[in-house]
Structure 1
């Protein structure tokens, strides 16, 4: 049977090198010189998401143990010791790859002496133990209530669909003669326009000003095109692996041959997808813009990010999460600079056992 790492390597060989070239070494990261309140708040949110999943697994499973594994130092740029921490982390990325946040072990393989947190152990100390894991999980977080987001997105799509169909009728009834004269191909496009095709139909816009009726027709077509753009733009929240992480995740898989997964935690739902599935998607260029999107993420220092609609992943929580408590924290950096950020604590998640078992291939 072919090993997991070889399966991953085979898929990677099919991915366009313009997106990521796995044959080339990773780009060297620049050390940040200054942290911001927003950065630390986002980090705290990520730590909370990891803790939520960690507790949800360990409090509800008789067969599986989740262990903290990813680098979890609280140092940020501006703290004493951060430079050493940063360089040690970069060296580890080149040696074993990027540690996932959590490891899953069968209870029989769990080492009680090492405990539930092995994040501060060197890779050499736990090398053989990590190989026994059944899964590594990279936890991502998103400050949204996905149900409310989708409810509003669906409302907007319904509104613009109705508007587009209404404009279609107006144009056909009031300006058919002008279309026959100026743009006869638009008649065919309008005839094809319905509540389904609004998600794919497009046309080139022309502006006329030589008569009042032509101006009115131009205005209707402009409004129609605007509504189609709203309907067709990406309107879902996403699972968000960064392109720059793909190489170091693969490096970790090459080192340990352990299946890898991404889990995206929202404030009311949790979705997961396998790293293998992510690679399979981006190896198919024809699926870009439909099953995945590649964008520079302004909320993440404009790093290129793969965005996979959450609903295309596996929903691991079918009941709403209990939101965490939160409070403000004051942090003083070594030169007396003050930062204020939000800390998250608590919250509960009820995992869907069947969905968990299906995604990770093990019994919760």
Structure 2
């Protein structure tokens, strides 16, 4: 069974996953403009995916399942809502945002999301995330930045080896000389040397400056250069808790403003169980934008481009007035359209 596969992968995982995690804490007392904007963007992404599936899929339909309340910190009743949500996480786990059903199983497309028997008949569950990037433009920028760093490294290499500075470096530090002289476009990122601080002569000062600049370019090559699908570490146990209850295949779907990528929860667990992939295909970071929680950042290119095109939504300013008279200004999103790739949807989601 699917749920048994997931449980076994978690038990074998190199990650330290607390399967019995219990979520607790005081509810926040006040929302921020950034929080409200992020929530609006997340809600828009869910609507986009929901509409794309229901418009383009002939045999399947989507149902909104995750919590959709518009209540926020500072609103009347928020504390009770917050505690109720924590209790839900600690009992059934984290609800996915969208469930996918066969039309043949429910010809009227009427689903009672509080009916466990209905939920267990879903063929897939989607956790929808949003990101404020244009995926194609970001990828182009990063490719150009990486290539510029490689070009600079080659330029510095030629400057050193093509002048008397090469002989000077070989005499001062044979190890660095050999590293640089054998480096290629593919291996510059692997160079690791301690930058000297020679300064006795003008040539030594020039050589030191060049080596320092090369180190700076190598540092650029080491930076994460991909957009990511971002499951939080604590969510692994909470998602598994839901899976163990309902035994429905689970996926993460990351929505950008020009396209969206999907990856299965199972593939995430397989990927992060192999430390060979860390650094290139995923990283594990403490995410400042997410209360410092540990987040797995998976290269979106590992996923599948399930929405190959997205039309930009309209956006406008909105205002929320808090009880004590404070005003919060944030952005809302309406419209836009996602174009579902049915081949990927069937092959990599339905038949995964």
TM-score (norm 1): 0.92
In 2 relative to 1, CA 23–327 (structure 1 residues): closer, same or farther, beyond 3 Å? closer
Cα deviations across residues 71-101 of structure 1 (Å, max 9, x unaligned)? 1110000001111111111111111100000
* Cα deviation 1:205-236 (Å, max 9, x = unaligned): 22212222111111111111111111221111
State the distance in 1 between where 2:107 and 2:241 align.
25
Provide the residue aligned with 1:341 in structure 2: 330
- Separation in 2, partners of 1:181, 1:28: 62
3-state DSSP of counterpart to 2:44? helix
Q: 1:58 aligns with which of 54, 57, 75?
A: 54
Distance 1:286 1:227 in 2: 24
Match of 1:311 in 2: 301
| Structure 1, 164-173 or 258-267: larger mean CA deviation | 164-173
Counterpart Cα distance in 2 of 1:211 and 1:30: 63
Whether the aligned pair in 2 keeps the contact of 1:11 and 1:279 (CA below 8 Å) is yes
Say whether the 8 Å CA contact 2:17–2:236 is kept in structure 1.
no
Shift of 1:111: 7.2
Match of 2:16 among 10, 20, 23: 20
Aligned residues: 351
Name the SS for the 1:33 alignment partner. Answer: coil
For residue 119 of structure 2, what is the aligned residue in structure 1?
130
Corresponding position: 1:156 with 2:154:
no
- What does 1:265-344 align with in structure 2 at a 5 Å threshold? 265-318=255-308, 320-344=309-333
Indicate yes or no: 2:233 matched with 1:243. Answer: yes
1-structure distance, mates of 2:342, 2:295 = 30
Name structure 2 gaps, 5 residues minimum: none
1:358 to 322, 331, 347: 347
Per-residue deviation, 1:173: 2.2
The counterpart of 1:39, out of the listed 19, 35, 39, is 35
Q: 1:226-258: CA deviations, max 9, x gaps?
A: 111112211111111111211100100111111
For the pair 1:205 / 2:195, whether they are aligned, the reply is: yes
Q: Do 1:134 and 1:259's aligned partners in 2 also have CA atoms closer than 8 Å? A: yes
Give the alignment partner of residue 155 of structure 2, picking from 166, 174, 181. Answer: 166
Distance 1:110 1:201 in 2: 59
CA shift at 1:288, angstroms? Answer: 1.5
Question: Is 1:109 aligned to 2:105, yes or no?
Answer: yes
Q: Does 1:145 align with 2:115?
A: no
1:195 CA drift (Å): 1.4
Q: In the superposition, relative to structure 1, how do residues 21 and 362 fare at CA in structure 2: closer, same or farther (>3 Å)?
A: closer
Aligned-residue Cα RMSD (Å) equals 1.7
Residue deviations 1:235-293, cap 9 Å, x none?
11111111121110010011111110000000001001000111112212232112101
Which one of 161, 170, 176 corresponds to residue 166 of structure 2? 176
3-state SS, counterpart of residue 109 of structure 1: coil
Q: How does the TM-score come out when normalised to structure 2?
A: 0.95
